[in-house]
Structure 1
Amino acid sequence: MPSTPVPARPAHHTHSTPLPARTALLSRYTHLRDPASVLVTGWEPAGADTFLVQVRWPAAHGERPYDPRLLTQTVRQSGLVVAHAEYGVPLDHQTLLRSLDLTLAPDFPVPRGQAAALDVEVRVPDTGPRRRTDALAMDIRLRHRGTTVAAADTEFGWVSPAVYRRLRGPHPTVPWGQWPLPEPLPPALAGRATPSDVALSATGHPGRWLLRNDTANTLLFDHPVDHVPGLALIEAADQAAHALLTPTPLHPTSISTRYTRYVEFDAPCWIDATLLPAPGPGQFAAQVTGTQNGRHTFTTEFRGPTTPPPAHPTTRR
């Protein structure tokens, strides 16, 4: 695909742009085909190398006040919009998510049962010439009604199509959705609502599961890609931690992920979860790792309280 020029700073006109054109622009910036998956509604400069991104979440259901997939997608989409719109990262470059550290407010004050508007502050602390072209560190803060509910420290990298082809070698394409799809865990054990939401399959070994890539889960698989997305791996880790801790509820206040290599669709990927020494009284720590073809692929660590915070009441209309 040829490189597409990106305007340097179109943000001032975002909300005055007609809705269809704005939706198409945001779909391009977030690399999503389904408009319903685009959480970002607009953005604007808020200072030197600081930007304010507007996001809208659908109603949250379940035992947590947020959907973990929406949380990580918010970070991804906000970072991509800023990178493409404000720093000129070409739209045809492949994104490399190298790390993602999340800190969540213990009570996560977003009411359940209704859509929620969030303001996302994105700060780019290092904007030297090299980092503007192939990598950007980002400090991201999610706020609801002025209260910070989550923070993320992450680094995005980018490579040109030619470099990416060399990097991927024998895995440039994949027969989309044609891989074997093992039976899912019971959704309640994974902390999800439906079988298509479940990213794990049982193996018969405690603390070990098989990664399950169901393309019906459009929040994770919006369009065909050549490797398992990084956010899908965080989702699998979240479900593994939930299954490991059951019946103790999973309410992490810290989630840290490091990626070491791509996860392919054409070979089994094993997801292992184990408890770590508790960081303090009433606290838990768990580590989830991925292994494919005998090689480590990623690690996610969760930390938080062993008892859930008081629930925010559902807003009734």
Structure 2
Amino acid sequence: MTTTDPVASLRFGPWVSPTTVNRTSAREVFVTDHARVGEEEFAIAARVAHDHPLWSDRRGHGHDPAVVVEAFRQAFVVVRHEYLGVPRGTPTAVQQLTLDVHDLSAFRTEGTTPLQGVIKVRVVRTGETLDIAGDFFIGPARAMTLSFKGILFSRDSYRGIREYQRSRRAVGTGGGPAGRPIEPELVGRRDRRNVVIGPAARRNRFPLVVDRSHASFFDRDYDHVPGSLLIEAMRQSALRGAAEAGLCTGDASLIRAELDFGIFVETDTPATCGVSVAGRPGAVTATVGIDQADVRAASGVLELTEGAS
């Protein structure tokens, strides 16, 4: 009797519908196929176009490992809706995120081929909490390990939390923290539109630049700053802090992160990202924290390297 390996059968053909991964634009969809491979285990095929306007906008010679965070988020969406029966439209928040790059060389590219791989994950639901952890494989290489801890809200509880959090901060008092971004080459970017921090107001503290017209960060209408922008702001702040300390350039790669997201960040109130760095040239550990109206909203530790990718 012949059995079919569900992982080997995954297709890297057309992407799934945007609604499957809570996206609006087909350009922002990375998942191409998915399968259940165990009671709590799943495999998701993902492909990122070589010319994606955000995730391929990198001065280095490798695919951006940080794009796997968005692919992992989409895998999280697929699993909870397609396999765990969580209704679409259920408010969800990621509270903790970790990533470790095991093989940076697997992300090498000449700039003309997509990033393509398989996410293998295990998902455990305990009440309203979801834990998802797994690996991203590029071919046979185990390129990265990731984990999310998320929470599901009822619509009423989400509305109450948002009203309470907004009441603690002076929101809606201005046009929002659009700001002026720093030069893209300072944070390893080519396109200024993908820069999400401005010039430091004081040493190692960078204002967030929140552009609600950005096609990737705001692919849909959020009532808060999306996690993808917060992660990018922490990374860019770490790059600037490390560069100003003479430890690395803006082209360094993110290879490890442990991040906590405590509360939502409002789109219409200024926020800043503070950073402190340590390490040696080419190998940096950065401690970061995003603050808004004197409230710590997100924090974590990132590691950067200028090792070849």
Task: Indicate the TM-score class for this superposition, using the shorter chain for normalisation.
Answer: 0.7 to 0.9
1:49 pairs, out of 40, 46, 49, with 40
**Structure 1 residue aligned with 2:297:** 297
Change (3 A) 1:64 1:158: farther
Helix, strand or coil for the counterpart of 1:23?
Answer: coil
CA contact (8 A) 1:69 1:231 kept: no
The question of whether the paired residues in 2 share the 8 Å contact of 1:269 and 1:292 is answered with yes
Pairs aligned (count): 284
| Paired position in structure 2 for 1:314 | none
Q: 1:270 to 1:310 in 2, by over 3 A?
A: closer
**What does residue 257 of structure 1 align with?**
259
Gaps of 5+ in 1: 1-10, 312-317
Query: 1:96 is matched with which residue: 93, 96, 107?
Result: 93
How far did residue 259 of structure 1 move?
Answer: 1.0
Once residues 62 and 191 of structure 1 are traced to their aligned partners in structure 2, the CA distance between those partners, rounded to angstroms, is 5
Please name the residue that 2:277 is paired with.
275
Measured against aligned partners, the alpha-carbon deviations of 1:98-144 in whole angstroms (never above 9, x if no partner) come to: 000000125241231111321110112x345x2xxx22101121000
* Letter aligned with residue 145 of structure 1: G
**Is the CA contact (8 Å cut-off) linking 1:79 and 1:122 kept in structure 2?**
no
Q: CA deviation at 1:178?
A: 5.5
Tell me which residue corresponds to 1:144: 138
Q: Distance in 2 between matches of 1:230 and 1:167?
A: 17
Are the equivalent residues in 1 in contact too, given 2:260–2:298 (CA < 8 A)? yes
Q: Deviations over 1:117-175 (max 9, x none)?
A: 21110112x345x2xxx221011210001111111011121112121111111759x99
2:21 corresponds to 1:23: no
- Measured in 1, the distance between the counterparts of 2:117 and 2:229 equals 23
Please state if 1:84 is matched with 2:81.
yes
Counterparts in 2 of 1:43 and 1:70: CA distance versus 1, 3 Å: same
State the Cα RMSD in Å.
2.8
Tell me the amino acid that sits aligned with residue 208 of structure 1: R
Q: CA deviation at 1:28?
A: 1.9
Query: Quick one: structure 1 residues 178 and 32, their matched pair in 2 at CA, closer, same or farther if it must change by over 3 Å?
Result: farther
Q: Does 1:107 align with 2:104?
A: yes
Quote the Cα distance in structure 2 between the aligned partners of 1:145 and 1:281: 31
What is the match of residue 162 of structure 1? 156
**1:37-62 superposed Cα distances (whole Å, 9 cap, x missing partner):** 00001101112211110000122442
2-structure distance, mates of 1:63, 1:297:
30
Q: Aligned partners of 1:15 and 1:190: how far apart in 2?
A: 35
Post-superposition offset of 1:304: 4.5
Identity %: 22
* Structure 2 CA distance for partners of 1:38 and 1:198, relative to 1, 3 Å: same
Amino acid of the residue matched to residue 266 of structure 1? Answer: D
Tell me the distance in 1 between the aligned counterparts of 2:184 and 2:304: 22
- Provide the TM-score with structure 2 as the length reference: 0.83
Correspondence for 2:217 among 211, 220, 224: 220
Q: Secondary structure of the residue that 2:237 maps to in structure 1?
A: helix
Q: Give the 3-state SS of the residue equivalent to 1:92 in structure 2.
A: coil
Shift in alpha-carbon separation, 1:70–1:205, aligned structure 2, 3 A: same
Partner of 1:309: 307
* Residues 239-294 of structure 1: per-residue CA shift (max 9 Å, x gap): 11111122614223211110111110121101111114x4x897421111111111
1:54 partner SS? strand
Decide whether the 8 Å contact of 1:92 with 1:160 is kept in 2: no
Which residue in 2 is equivalent to 1:237?
234
**TM-aligned CA distance change 1:194 to 1:282, over 3 Å:** closer
Equivalent residue letter for 2:192: P
Distance 1:282 1:265 in 2: 34
Amino acid at match of 1:198: V
How far does residue 225 in structure 1 lie from its aligned partner after superposition?
A: 0.8
What is the identity, as a one-letter code, of the residue corresponding to 1:37?
E
Please report the TM-score for the alignment, with normalisation by the length of structure 1: 0.81
Give the distance between the partners of 2:68 and 2:163, measured in 1 at CA.
32
- CA–CA distance in 1 between the matches of 2:81 and 2:34? 12
Return the letter of the residue paired with 2:286: A
Deviation, structure 1 residue 193 = 1.6
Does structure 1 conserve the Cα–Cα contact (< 8 Å) formed by 2:184 and 2:190? yes
State how far apart, in whole Å, the 1-side matches of 2:108 and 2:87 are: 37
Call closer, same or farther: CA 1:151–1:224 in 2, change over 3 Å. same
